[in-house]
């Protein structure tokens, strides 16, 4: 089957899936969880094949860990499905309702985007998470996982497809792509695919973004900053810098650059260096920093480098304005924090820093769908349209306008004897569902 | 000045503009309206130059009409600015507010997208409308109008820039591009420009969409359908078909294809033909249609043609399912209507037709920002992400997450002694503004 045909099948399935009711989708999700649990042995056996091959090809230890899919991971994804079932159906929510005239009512109603293409590396649990999020939100999904997880992914996607289709979901709503060439072809299917979500390394995400005209939801870089203002509580600032840098270095919301107000640089830099030395963080600093503490000199390139490692670049700035300018110039629009006791400075920072997440007196590491309480996370986006920051289920949704009339025509609302529109908000007492649906 | 530099200037201005308060923006809008009114003579003189040149180059009469900018058009755009001032500020609205833990509060707050590139044909009033919509929503804007309106557009944009900068808006928030080459270069400035809005012919919009990696808000085609179901009131159906086709043929929400349920084709087709004949609509029909009324045979190409003229293609379908399939296959996701007295059929149609606007028992011509009561219209979108259908000011907005803490770090919320998140909704009694802002 060609990828164009695969995508067309997914499109047809997405039309049907958009109209499936909440109970039926939840029943299918429950059946998926049960089927996965029942197939534990089979899944783990497939994963062992992948692990054996990966070890043979000398895959690095952290990647092996991500590749592993054992009983623990399985109960994790099943628990995830159970919480997903409990979430309200995001489809069919009335966003607004307006009477245009008597008997002419306009409803703006949430609906699925359609077909989502997801490309992810290594972790097979991502396959289960993203496909069940798509099902809950009524989207068809084309999936491509890392080649090192091919057996695990095939097994998981087959079980999900079988269990859900048996529960009445349309054939073809979930399909697994096999090769890198398949991905390249998928990126050309803008006729059928409405959104691509890449999950993986910077270069990988950038490759996707540069090679498709389909909208991409995601982030390439996470160059996050902590700015320690002259009015900061310096002990609090040390804690926040250490946490932002070190709590988990390999992730996109870890800090890469520390900006320090020149007013407190002499006092703060030695304090923060002592704490970062304990965590073995390598420091690279501007000239002003180097005049105060021992650091490797930072180059221009450092300001736009995402280390994802125990490395931090440090720059002394003249104050709030320079900090904001630096972040807007070198940052990636992901997450940036200010530490200050001055409320006005904090508000100015959060207003002028053009990032999806702007924080006051807390760690950049809070920038995460689970910590935000979103219920589910589709990904983190540095886009300026549609969805920004940690994206929950709403990122997989759009809306349509439903206009319910009783024979109205526009000719009656134009010309010298034009009828007037009422444009009255329709107040709904019983929840957020449509009356007609 | 290179276009890259123009765009960079706009980006810098957009950062400042995002933080400008409501009163100041409204004052600038009032100053723009006053300045335009005061410069009436100058604007009309510039427009007369354009009109003279256009007549010399034999521009068609409808285009000349669109190009004309007289006292009437001027008071129209000034009245538009006055209503825009009265709209609530769309920036800084709290979309949601969550306590993550005591003293750690997350606000999801609306903010401008940043820099918008708008390319439009002919009508100089569009320049005033779109630039003031951008100002109200805190976005910087790069504009390129039709070359035939060059003098009018230069005069209008200079007056808007001068009046607004005098009122404190950041320099460079509005800039006019001069040539087609400028547009081509603008489409490459994805580093600085966040959204492109093309307004013009299909080919023009498609050219823009195919030549930029910047997100595009708009629609190329408007292939709208009316489906007359077997359970329709046939008199109502005739009125709706005639209005959808003829009320204004040159627009994207006019119907191009009529689908007729075979159950009522014999009765309905002669009725609707009589009414369409009165309006001199040329009919092209499928074989089944041709067996009932006199029509030119429709070709496969007709089903995907936007005539924008007194031409209608007609197809007899086996029923609701075939109608839905036809629309999802040949339609452009713009606006599609069903006429039926059967509520279930109507709901199924509106649920399964994958278009931004799905209508029951009313004309497709209602699909419009003014008729929807949006207050302002940025454009009509057939996108599947961000904004769909008639788009009001909200299409120029995104959001950012502001997290206000008191020293929290993620290390305290992980590991065996992890603190728990509270994830409590913060209820706001006094309007929808942030407490801190």
pLDDT digits (tens, 9 = 90+) for A220-252: 889 999 999 999 999 999 999 999 999 999 899
The pLDDT score that the predictor gives to residue A432 is 62
Reported as a pLDDT band with limits 50, 70 and 90, residue B427 is: confident
- B168-214 tens-digit pLDDT: 999 999 999 999 899 999 999 999 999 999 988 888 888 898 888 89
The pLDDT score that the predictor gives to residue A364 is 98
Residues sharing a CB contact under 8 Å with residue B8, sequence separation 6 or more, in sequence order: B192
Neighbour count for residue B210 (Cβ, 10 Å): 11
Q: Smallest Cα–Cα separation from A253: which of A261, A262, A263, A243?
A: A243
- Judged by CB atoms closer than 8 Å, whether chains meet at B361 and A406 is answered as yes
Selected for mutation to probe chain A from B206, B328, B351, B368 (highest A CB count within 10 Å) is B351
Q: Residue B341's closest chain A neighbor by CA?
A: A406
Q: Smallest Cα–Cα separation from B240: which of B223, B221, B222, B227?
A: B227
Q: Is the pLDDT of residue B261 over 80?
A: yes
Q: Residue B16's closest chain A neighbor by CA?
A: A352
Higher pLDDT, B203 or A331: A331
**What is B224-367's CATH topology?**
Aldehyde Dehydrogenase; Chain A, domain 2 (3.40.309)
Residues sharing a CB contact under 8 Å with residue A179, sequence separation 6 or more, in sequence order: none
User: Taken in order B261, B266, B270, B275, is the CA torsion positive or negative?
Assistant: negative
Distance CA(B186)–CA(A203), nearest Å, equals: 25
Higher pLDDT, B78 or A375: B78
Q: Is the pLDDT of residue A210 over 90?
A: no
At which residue do the structure tokens 């529960």 appear?
A: A167
> Which residues in B212-280 belong to E strands, given as ranges?
224-228, 255-261
Q: Smallest Cα–Cα separation from A385: which of B379, B61, B386, B103?
A: B386
The pLDDT score that the predictor gives to residue A436 is 56
Q: Is the pLDDT of residue B13 over 70?
A: yes
The pLDDT score that the predictor gives to residue B382 is 93
Nearest CB to B437 within list A347, A362, A436: A347
The pLDDT score that the predictor gives to residue B433 is 67
**What is B3-217+387-396's CATH topology?**
Aldehyde Dehydrogenase; Chain A, domain 1 (3.40.605)
Q: Residue A415's closest chain B neighbor by CA?
A: B247
Q: Is the pLDDT of residue A1 over 80?
A: no
Could you tell me the residue ranges of all domains in chain A? 3-217+387-396, 224-373
The pLDDT score that the predictor gives to residue A384 is 95
- B248-260 tens-digit pLDDT: 998 999 999 999 9
For B313, the 3-state DSSP assignment is strand
ipTM, two decimals, is: 0.95
Distance CA(B47)–CA(A401), nearest Å, equals: 38
The pLDDT score that the predictor gives to residue A433 is 67
Q: What percent of chain B has pLDDT over 70?
A: 98
Distance CA(A345)–CA(A164), nearest Å, equals: 52
Chain A partners within 8 Å of B367 (Cβ): 401, 403
CA distance B112 to chain A (A): 9
Chain B partners within 8 Å of A413 (Cβ): 371
Backbone angles phi, psi at B21, to 5 degrees: -75, 165
Selected for mutation to probe chain B from A401, A406, A434 (highest B CB count within 10 Å) is A401
CA distance A172 to chain B (A): 17
SS3 content of chain B, % helix, strand, coil (to 5): 45, 20, 35
Chain B partners within 8 Å of A415 (Cβ): none
Nearest CB to B410 within list A243, A343, A423: A243
Nearest CB to B106 within list A372, A423, A436: A372
Q: Answer yes or no: are the C-beta atoms of B395 and B374 closer than 8 Å.
A: no
Q: What is the CATH number that goes with domain A224-373?
A: 3.40.309.10
Q: Answer yes or no: are the C-beta atoms of A279 and A266 closer than 8 Å.
A: no
Q: Is the pLDDT of residue B429 over 80?
A: no
Read off the pLDDT of each residue in A265-287 and give the average, rounded to a whole number: 98
Alpha carbon separation from B416 to A96, A242, B411, B419 (Å, rounded): 44, 20, 11, 9
Chain B partners within 8 Å of A15 (Cβ): 328, 352, 354
Residues sharing a CB contact under 8 Å with residue A22, sequence separation 6 or more, in sequence order: A89, A91, A92
């Amino acid at each position: 089957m060609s990828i164009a045909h695969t995508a067309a099948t997914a499109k047809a399935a997405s039309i049907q899936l958009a109209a499936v009711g909440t109970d039926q989708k939840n029943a299918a999700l429950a059946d998926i969880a049960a089927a996965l649990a029942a197939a534990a042995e089979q899944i783990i056996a497939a994963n062992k094949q992948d692990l054996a091959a990966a070890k043979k090809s000398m895959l690095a230890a952290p990647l092996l860990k991500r590749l592993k899919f054992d009983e623990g991971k399985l109960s994790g994804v099943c628990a995830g499905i159970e919480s997903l079932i409990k979430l309200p159906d995001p489809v069919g929510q009335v966003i607004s309702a307006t009477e245009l005239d008597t008997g002419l009512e306009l409803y703006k109603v949430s609906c699925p985007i359609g077909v989502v293409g997801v490309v992810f590396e290594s972790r097979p649990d991502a396959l289960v998470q993203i496909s069940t999020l798509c099902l809950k939100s009524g989207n068809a999904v084309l999936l491509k996982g890392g080649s090192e997880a091919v057996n695990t992914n095939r097994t998981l996607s087959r079980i999900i497809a079988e269990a859900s289709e048996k529960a009445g979901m349309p054939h073809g709503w979930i399909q697994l792509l096999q090769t890198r060439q398949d991905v390249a072809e998928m990126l050309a299917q803008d006729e059928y695919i409405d959104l691509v979500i890449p999950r993986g390394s910077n270069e990988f995400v950038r490759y996707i973004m540069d090679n498709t005209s389909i909208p991409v939801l995601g982030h390439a870089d996470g160059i996050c900053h902590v700015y320690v203002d002259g009015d900061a509580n310096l002990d609090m600032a040390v804690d926040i810098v250490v946490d932002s840098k070190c709590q988990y270095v390999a992730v996109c919301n870890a800090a890469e650059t520390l900006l320090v107000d020149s007013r407190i640089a002499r006092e703060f830099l030695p304090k923060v260096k002592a704490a970062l030395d304990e965590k073995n963080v390598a420091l690279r600093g501007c000239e002003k920093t180097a005049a105060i503490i021992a650091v490797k000199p930072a180059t221009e390139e450092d300001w736009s480098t995402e280390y994802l490692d125990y490395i931090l670049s440090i720059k002394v700035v003249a104050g709030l304005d320079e900090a904001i300018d630096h972040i807007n110039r070198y940052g990636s629009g992901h997450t940036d924090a200010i530490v200050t006791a001055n409320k006005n400075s904090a508000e100015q920072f959060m207003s002028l820093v053009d990032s999806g997440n702007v924080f006051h007196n807390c760690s950049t590491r809070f920038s995460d769908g689970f910590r935000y309480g979103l219920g589910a996370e589709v990904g983190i986006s540095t886009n300026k349209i549609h969805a920004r920051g940690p994206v929950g289920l709403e990122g997989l949704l759009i809306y349509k306008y439903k206009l319910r009339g009783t024979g109205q025509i526009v000719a009656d609302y134009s010309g010298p004897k034009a009828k007037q529109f009422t444009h009255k908000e329709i107040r709904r007492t019983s929840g957020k569902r449509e009356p007609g649906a």
